[in-house]
């Protein structure tokens, strides 16, 4: 439920205030003012706030407490009176002296009277407990014909199904609302605004804890809110504003949706954020957005839920048999199985398995498969995505018996494959498995679980005709005589199981790597034990960052396992460095990721926005000329990233056109270095190698197990630049692949995996029309015009226009001028100088020499490409010879003189 | 506005308190009793669940441990019969316990008043 889909109805007569000008209930809406329909019921705020009401309410709570306390004390006195009497009469040694119900004494009278007070206390507590359910349940699924709902206030007044949401407020939430009223009244504000409400929220412990988790500078936040409150000018008799009423109704609906008993202060946080734009902005400035609040609230809820689940779970677990038998003792002992397997239900009964969250859908799928008659189910997913924890969750559900009837009163037993095959020949292993299957069939109360089932594929007892170990199992599954759960990684499933008898006999359920909020919530459920174990405190930002950074920089493992491993590592470090209850911050996570991956920390923590804003300057530190190209690339990247929400395309894609040697590849390298932190974060594909139709296989792999060059590279390093050299030379089928990549941001490889391209930049280069560009630039034609002609007349002959249109930018590189070449020569010499510096040798180049080198190295056909070769021959080689000959030593200076000769100036002798 | 009247609200609070006290005897024999009975019912059901009495009764003719030969069946039947009898007795005990608690609840007020009367006379 979001604030967008709650449609509020506001009384046009009183504008939602619920009062007329005489301060009486508005006659049009009878004081309801504002409300909304949900599931056929009308929800409104009906309580009229007033200082007297608040004070009396609080007085009543105190009075209630006093009455209970008084009754309790009287009850206690009665009990003491009885004990006193017994103590006084116990000296006689006669048991009949202690039959107090037969004796007369004033102490006993006190006792009997006090019993009435005990009963009264019991009554009051029972009623209080019964009153805890303040929210009336409304599933929202009740179908109500819209024409049955009232469509004006007059009909609404008569409408039966109305709920005053103030009745659903818990003590905490009511206290917050009352406080906000008192504050507004004290300041003589006419309305209680969201700011008042939000300000009073901070008195609540749970809200305080929430913002501590969010690592907010609470002082700053409260100061800002106070400033806003002080700017409120409308004075008058205080009442709740319409926005506050809306927020309260929204909080009620939210709490109802979460099946809470009552509205608590935490429920008010999100409605406040969404109902007041200024507040949302203030929070945003403190780096808190809606998603963060939602995930952090989910964290609190997950903890509560896990505690509650643990309590009911312990209660239910008491009823599960702790031996191998079913409850009717009809099953058979399974000695061989017990020897080779672990009983997960018993482990679950004793609480040895951890709880899993956010996997309800997968569990439901598994149950449905069992119910629909499939007795074999394989969970397929990458290592560490939580296949095992799904199975463990099932074991726990089986302990609670909260499973479909066909798997109730059963055991979930995990077969240890390594024990099955170890020390046995293939035929012995087969015999063991047969015995186990026999036992399972006869026992009838066992669900067999085989982790990494591919391990039993391919073990056969000899000749060609003999059965594979897995086929022994298949027979039993096909007969429907055993239930079998198994897991396999995606790769092994495709390689060993798909299209084999085992694959055909079992239903496949995909366990995907959790993403975004789901991943964060799974991690949140693991934090409690980590915090207790290492005595550290995780901020919400640290969790978000661990997901973000591990996704970005660690590609060999999968979520949530890689995040949990990382968190454990960090917890140890922080507990050592910051002491007990140190807070794990965002930076601790960045440091750990940097250590684990070897990526410099500055890159890990660098903000994308900073990189993007200074892109041109950074590129020009490495590149000469091509101002238009550089600024176009930079601005396209900025454009592409600014509209990043929900973007399912690569970060950006460009087509670089221009003659050879003008810096196309150099620009691509520079972008990779600046944007992804390393020149090597680049997948370079020479498209002239993919000129035939069957090179598609080479590019994306095949089902036979060949891995695609491109897909494999991108899968391993999704955050990289893909450089497609000589793009136009590839076969049209390959070009079509890129049509899809640039459109959807993904590609399915030969093995059926979906490869994500949304984190990559694609740059294609082409020499097409190079001569034309050279001629036109020489003739002084405008670069935009050249581009237009190129696209419309030259490119469309070799590439489909829709492909050209897919690129975020087509960028034309100008041929280099002599001045440019001079600058490039300087840049390259400076690079050589830098390597010499490490040897303690300085370098200086005279202008005349540079000019000569530039003139010799420049070729109008090849641009600056021959220059590198020339510098190698004329400078680097000479220097190398001199170093080897001992002519050039530390503290010497290499001079390239006006004749472009390499000379040595001897340094000072020490 | 009446809601802003301190006196009216003060009276209301006192009234609510008095009402709460007056309601107590009725509560004892209505909602209180009902709540107690549903709690006892749950208790008995849970006892049955942990004893698995009905499961044993239902399977009385089914051999234990999958021993489907006739010896197995005979031995099984008698073992199960013994189990059913013992478990049945325990069940009966818990049932009576629940009933006793229920009865205790009902007569407790009368008994207290009788005792108080006995003390003061």
Which candidate from B4, B6, B13 shows the least CB-CB separation from A63? B13
The upper half-sphere exposure of residue A101, i.e. CA atoms within 13 Å in the direction of its Cβ, equals: 5
- Cβ distance of B59 and A330 shorter than 8 Å: yes
- Cβ distance of A104 and B118 shorter than 8 Å: yes
What is the per-residue pLDDT for A115? 93
For A285-318, the pLDDT digits (tens) are: 888 888 889 888 888 888 887 887 788 777 777 7
- Cβ distance of A56 and B46 shorter than 8 Å: no
Interface of B with A (CB under 8 A): 1, 3-6, 9-10, 12-13, 16-17, 20-21, 24, 27-28, 31-32, 35, 46, 49-50, 52, 55-56, 58-59, 62-66, 108-109, 112, 115-116, 118-120
What is the per-residue pLDDT for A141? 52
High-pLDDT (> 70) share of chain A, %: 94
Mean predicted confidence (pLDDT) in A394-420:
87
Mean predicted confidence (pLDDT) in A313-328:
72
pTM of the model: 0.70
More confident residue, A225 or A607: A225
Q: How many CB atoms lie within 10 A of CB B44?
A: 16
List phi, psi (to 5°) of A880.
Answer: -60, -45
Residue of B nearest to A442 (CA): B66
Residue of B nearest to A101 (CA): B115
For A349-404, the pLDDT digits (tens) are: 887 787 777 788 899 999 999 998 888 999 998 888 889 989 999 998 888 888 88
Alpha-carbon A329 to chain mean position: 46
Mean predicted confidence (pLDDT) in A705-720:
83
For residue B5, the chain A residues in CB contact (below 8 A) are: 52
Which candidate from A23, A53, A330 shows the least CB-CB separation from B64? A330
pLDDT at A45 over 60: yes
What is the per-residue pLDDT for A586? 82
Q: Which of A118, A327, A440 to mutate to test the interface with B (most CBs of B within 10 A)?
A: A327
What is the per-residue pLDDT for B107? 93
What is the per-residue pLDDT for B5? 62
A331 touches chain B (CB under 8 A): yes
- Cβ distance of A328 and B58 shorter than 8 Å: yes
Q: Which CATH number, 3.20.20.140, 2.40.50.140, 3.40.50.300, 2.60.130.10, labels domain A609-812?
A: 3.40.50.300
For residue A116, the chain B residues in CB contact (below 8 A) are: 109, 112
Calculate the CA dihedral of residues A792, A795, A799, A800 and round it to 10 degrees. 0
- Cβ distance of B13 and A330 shorter than 8 Å: no
- Cβ distance of B66 and A332 shorter than 8 Å: yes
- Cβ distance of A124 and B20 shorter than 8 Å: yes
- Cβ distance of B3 and A50 shorter than 8 Å: yes
Mean predicted confidence (pLDDT) in A819-845:
85
Alpha helix segments (H runs only) across A202-241: 205-213, 218-230
Residue of A nearest to B31 (CA): A127
Which candidate from A56, A112, A327 shows the least CB-CB separation from B10? A56
pLDDT at A781 over 60: yes
Q: What is the 3-state secondary structure (H, E, C) of chain B?
A: CHHHCHHHHHHHHHHHHHHHHHHHHHHHHCHHHHHHHHHHHHHHHHHHHHHCHHHHHHCCCCCHHHCCCHHHHHHHHHHHHHHHHHHHHHHHHHHHHHHHHHHHHHHHHHHHHHHHHHHHC
Closest Cα in chain B, distance from residue A15 (Å): 20
What is the per-residue pLDDT for A604? 64
Residues 6 or more apart whose CB falls under 8 angstroms from that of B11 comprise none
Mean predicted confidence (pLDDT) in A257-267:
87
Mean predicted confidence (pLDDT) in A414-440:
85
Mean predicted confidence (pLDDT) in A703-718:
82
High-pLDDT (> 90) share of chain A, %: 14
High-pLDDT (> 90) share of chain B, %: 44
Closest Cα in chain A, distance from residue B51 (Å): 9
pLDDT at A113 over 80: yes
The CATH architecture to which A516-599 belongs is Orthogonal Bundle (1.10)
User: Which pLDDT band holds residue B3 (cuts at 50, 70, 90)?
Assistant: very low
User: Which pLDDT band holds residue B2 (cuts at 50, 70, 90)?
Assistant: very low
pLDDT at A569 over 80: yes
Q: Which CATH number, 2.60.40.10, 1.10.8.60, 1.25.40.10, 1.10.3720.10, labels domain A819-905?
A: 1.10.8.60
- Cβ distance of A112 and B46 shorter than 8 Å: no
User: Which pLDDT band holds residue A640 (cuts at 50, 70, 90)?
Assistant: low
Decide: A771 and A658 in contact? Cβ < 8 Å: no
What is the per-residue pLDDT for A645? 42
What is the per-residue pLDDT for A74? 95
Omega within 30 of 0 (cis) for the link into A623: no
What is the per-residue pLDDT for A644? 54
What is the per-residue pLDDT for B40? 94
Q: Which of B48, B81, B119, B121 to mutate to test the interface with A (most CBs of A within 10 A)?
A: B119
Instruction: Determine the Cα–Cα distance for residues A488 and A494; give it in Å rounded to an integer.
Output: 9
User: Which pLDDT band holds residue B46 (cuts at 50, 70, 90)?
Assistant: confident
- Cβ distance of A120 and B116 shorter than 8 Å: no
- Cβ distance of A319 and B49 shorter than 8 Å: yes
CATH match of A319-510 with 3.40.50.300:
yes
Residue of B nearest to A319 (CA): B50
Question: Given this chain, do its domains A609-812 and A819-905 carry the same CATH topology?
Answer: no
pLDDT at A197 over 90: yes
Left (φ > 0), alpha (ψ -120 to 50) or beta: where does A196 sit? alpha
pLDDT at A142 over 60: no
For A584-596, the pLDDT digits (tens) are: 888 888 888 888 7
pLDDT at A760 over 70: yes
Residues 6 or more apart whose CB falls under 8 angstroms from that of A667 comprise A619, A623, A626, A629, A630, A633, A656
pLDDT at A854 over 50: yes
What is the per-residue pLDDT for A366? 92
DSSP one-letter code for A691? -
Mean predicted confidence (pLDDT) in B24-48:
92
Decide: A571 and A536 in contact? Cβ < 8 Å: yes
Mean predicted confidence (pLDDT) in A642-648:
58
Instruction: Determine the Cα–Cα distance for residues A125 and A134; give it in Å rounded to an integer.
Output: 16
3-class SS of residue A616:
helix
What is the per-residue pLDDT for B25? 92
A115 touches chain B (CB under 8 A): yes
For residue B20, the chain A residues in CB contact (below 8 A) are: 67, 124, 127
- Cβ distance of A319 and B50 shorter than 8 Å: yes
User: Which pLDDT band holds residue A733 (cuts at 50, 70, 90)?
Assistant: confident
Which candidate from B24, B31, B65 shows the least CB-CB separation from A120? B24
3-class SS of residue A259:
coil
Mean predicted confidence (pLDDT) in B41-55:
85
What is the per-residue pLDDT for A244? 92
A880 touches chain B (CB under 8 A): no
User: Which pLDDT band holds residue A463 (cuts at 50, 70, 90)?
Assistant: low
For residue A318, the chain B residues in CB contact (below 8 A) are: 50
Closest Cα in chain B, distance from residue A509 (Å): 34
Please give the interface size between A and B, counted as residue pairs whose CB atoms are below 8 Å apart: 94
Beta strands A191-192 and A446-450 are unpaired
What is the per-residue pLDDT for B1? 43
Residue of A nearest to B32 (CA): A123
- Cβ distance of B16 and A60 shorter than 8 Å: yes
Mean pLDDT taken over chain A = 84
pLDDT at A778 over 80: no
For residue B52, the chain A residues in CB contact (below 8 A) are: 327-328
Rounded to two decimals, the ipTM of the complex is 0.87
Mean predicted confidence (pLDDT) in A233-240:
81
- Cβ distance of B4 and A52 shorter than 8 Å: yes
A99 touches chain B (CB under 8 A): no
More confident residue, A206 or A787: A206
Instruction: Determine the Cα–Cα distance for residues A733 and A752; give it in Å rounded to an integer.
Output: 18
What is the per-residue pLDDT for A763? 92
Query: A167-172 long-range CB contacts below 8 Å, 24 or more apart?
Result: A167/A134, A168/A134, A168/A135, A168/A136, A168/A252, A168/A255, A168/A256, A168/A262, A168/A263, A169/A134, A169/A248, A169/A252, A169/A262, A169/A263, A170/A134, A170/A261, A170/A262, A170/A263, A170/A264, A171/A61, A172/A204, A172/A206, A172/A264, A172/A265
Residues 788-817 of A with CB under 8 A from B: none
Decide: A870 and A857 in contact? Cβ < 8 Å: yes
Residues 66-85 of A with CB under 8 A from B: 67
Residues 8-47 of A with CB under 8 A from B: 23-24
Which of A66-70, A245-249, A373-377 has the lowest average pLDDT?
A: A373-377
Closest Cα in chain B, distance from residue A310 (Å): 18
User: Which pLDDT band holds residue A642 (cuts at 50, 70, 90)?
Assistant: low
- Cβ distance of B116 and A113 shorter than 8 Å: yes
Q: Which residues pair with A859 in a beta bridge?
A: A863
What is the per-residue pLDDT for A559? 83
Domain spans of chain A, in order of start:
51-130, 319-510, 516-599, 609-812, 819-905
What is the per-residue pLDDT for A181? 93
Closest Cα in chain B, distance from residue A376 (Å): 24
- Cβ distance of B116 and A124 shorter than 8 Å: no
């Amino acid at each position: 439920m979001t604030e967008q889909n709650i449609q509020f109805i506001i009384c046009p007569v009183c504008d939602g205030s619920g009062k007329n000008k005489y301060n009486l209930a508005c006659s049009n809406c009878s004081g309801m003012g504002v409300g909304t329909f949900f599931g056929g019921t009308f929800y409104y705020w009906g309580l009229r706030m007033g200082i007297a009401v608040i004070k009396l309410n609080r007085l009543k709570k105190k009075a209630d407490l006093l009455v209970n306390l008084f009754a309790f004390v009287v009850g206690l006195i009665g009990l003491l009176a009885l004990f006193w009497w017994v103590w006084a009469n116990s000296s006689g040694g006669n048991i009949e002296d202690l039959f107090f119900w037969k004796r007369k004494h004033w102490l006993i009278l006190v006792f009997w009277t006090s019993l009435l007070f005990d009963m009264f206390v019991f009554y009051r507590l029972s009623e209080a407990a019964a009153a805890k359910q303040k929210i009336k349940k409304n599933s929202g699924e009740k179908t109500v014909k819209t024409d049955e709902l009232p469509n004006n206030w007059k009909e609404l007044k008569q409408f039966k199904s109305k709920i005053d949401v103030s009745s659903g407020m818990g003590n905490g939430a009511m206290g917050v609302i009352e406080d906000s009223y008192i504050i507004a009244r004290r300041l003589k504000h006419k309305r209680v605004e969201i700011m008042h409400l939000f300000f009073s929220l901070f008195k609540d412990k749970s809200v305080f804890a929430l913002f501590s988790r969010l690592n907010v500078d609470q002082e700053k936040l409260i100061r800002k809110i106070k400033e806003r409150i002080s700017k409120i000018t409308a004075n008058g008799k205080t009442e709740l504003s319409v926005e506050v009423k809306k927020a309260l109704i929204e909080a009620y609906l939210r709490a109802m949706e979460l099946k809470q008993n009552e509205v608590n202060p935490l429920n008010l946080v999100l409605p406040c954020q969404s109902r007041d734009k200024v507040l949302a902005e203030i929070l945003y400035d403190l780096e808190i957005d809606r998603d963060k609040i939602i995930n952090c609230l989910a964290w609190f809820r997950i903890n509560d839920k896990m505690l509650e689940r643990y309590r009911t779970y312990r209660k239910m677990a008491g009823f599960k048999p702790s031996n191998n038998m079913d409850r009717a003792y009809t099953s058979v002992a399974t000695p061989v199985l017990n020897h080779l397997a672990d009983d997960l239900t018993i482990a679950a009964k004793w609480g040895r398995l951890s709880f899993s969250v956010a996997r309800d859908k997968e569990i439901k799928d598994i149950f449905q498969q069992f119910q629909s008659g499939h007795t074999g189910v394989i969970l397929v997913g990458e290592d560490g995505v939580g296949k095992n924890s799904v199975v463990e969750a099932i074991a726990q559900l089986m302990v609670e018996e909260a499973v479909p009837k066909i798997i109730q009163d059963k055991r979930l037993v995990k077969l240890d494959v390594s024990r099955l095959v170890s020390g046995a020949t293939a035929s012995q292993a087969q015999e063991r498995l047969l015995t186990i299957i026999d036992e399972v069939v006869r026992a009838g109360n066992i669900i067999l679980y085989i982790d990494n089932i591919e391990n039993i594929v391919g073990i056969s007892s000899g000749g060609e005709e003999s059965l594979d170990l897995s086929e022994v199992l298949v027979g039993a599954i096909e007969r429907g005589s055993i239930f079998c759960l198994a897991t396999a990684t995606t790769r092994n499933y495709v390689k060993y199981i798909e299209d084999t008898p085992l694959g055909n006999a079992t239903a496949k359920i995909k366990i995907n790597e959790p993403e975004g909020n789901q991943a964060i919530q799974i991690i949140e459920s693991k934090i409690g034990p980590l915090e207790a174990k290492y005595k550290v405190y995780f901020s919400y930002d640290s969790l978000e960052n661990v997901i973000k950074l591990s996704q970005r920089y660690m590609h060999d493992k999968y979520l949530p396992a890689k995040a949990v491993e990382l968190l454990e590592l960090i917890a140890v470090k922080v507990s050592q460095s910051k002491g007990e209850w140190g807070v794990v911050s965002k930076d601790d996570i960045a440091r750990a990721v940097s250590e684990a991956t070897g990526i410099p920390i500055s890159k890990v923590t660098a903000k994308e926005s900073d990189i993007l804003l200074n892109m041109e300057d950074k590129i020009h530190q490495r590149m000469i000329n091509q101002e238009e190209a550089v600024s176009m690339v930079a601005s396209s990247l900025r454009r592409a990233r600014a509209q990043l929400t929900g973007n399912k395309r690569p970060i950006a894609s460009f087509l670089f056109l221009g003659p050879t040697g003008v810096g196309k590849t150099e620009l691509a390298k520079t972008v990779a270095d600046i944007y992804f932190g390393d020149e090597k974060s680049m997948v370079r594909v020479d498209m002239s190698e993919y000129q035939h139709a069957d090179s598609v296989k080479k590019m994306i792999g095949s089902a036979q197990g060949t891995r695609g060059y491109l897909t494999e590279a991108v899968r391993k390093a999704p955050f990289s630049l893909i450089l497609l050299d000589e793009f136009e030379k590839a076969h049209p089928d390959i070009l079509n692949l890129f049509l899809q990549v640039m459109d959807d941001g993904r590609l399915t490889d030969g093995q059926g995996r979906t490869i994500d391209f949304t984190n990559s930049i694609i740059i294609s280069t082409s020499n097409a029309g190079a001569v034309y560009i050279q001629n036109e630039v020489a003739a002084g034609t405008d670069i935009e015009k050249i581009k237009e002609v190129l696209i419309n007349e030259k490119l469309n002959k070799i590439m489909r226009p829709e492909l050209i249109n897919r690129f975020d930018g087509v960028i034309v590189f100008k041929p280099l001028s002599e001045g440019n070449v001079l600058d490039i020569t300087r840049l390259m010499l400076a690079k050589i100088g830098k390597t010499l510096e490490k040897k303690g040798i300085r370098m200086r180049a005279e202008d005349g020499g540079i000019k000569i080198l530039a003139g010799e190295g420049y070729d109008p056909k090849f641009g600056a490409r021959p220059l590198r070769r020339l510098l190698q021959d004329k400078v680097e080689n000479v220097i190398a010879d001199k170093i080897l000959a001992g002519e050039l030593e530390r503290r010497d200076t290499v001079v390239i003189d006006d004749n472009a000769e390499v000379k040595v100036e001897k340094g000072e002798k020490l | 506005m009446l809601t802003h009247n301190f006196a009216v609200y003060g009276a209301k609070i006192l009234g609510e308190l008095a009402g709460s006290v007056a309601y107590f005897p009725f509560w004892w024999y209505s909602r209180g009793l009902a709540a107690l009975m549903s709690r006892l019912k749950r208790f008995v059901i849970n006892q049955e669940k942990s004893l698995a009495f009905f499961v044993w009764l239902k399977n009385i003719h089914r051999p234990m441990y999958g021993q489907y030969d006739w010896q197995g069946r005979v031995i099984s039947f008698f073992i199960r019969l013994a189990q059913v009898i013992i478990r049945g007795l325990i069940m009966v005990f818990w049932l009576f316990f629940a009933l006793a608690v229920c009865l205790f609840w009902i007569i407790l007020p009368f008994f207290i008043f009788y005792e108080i009367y006995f003390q003061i006379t």
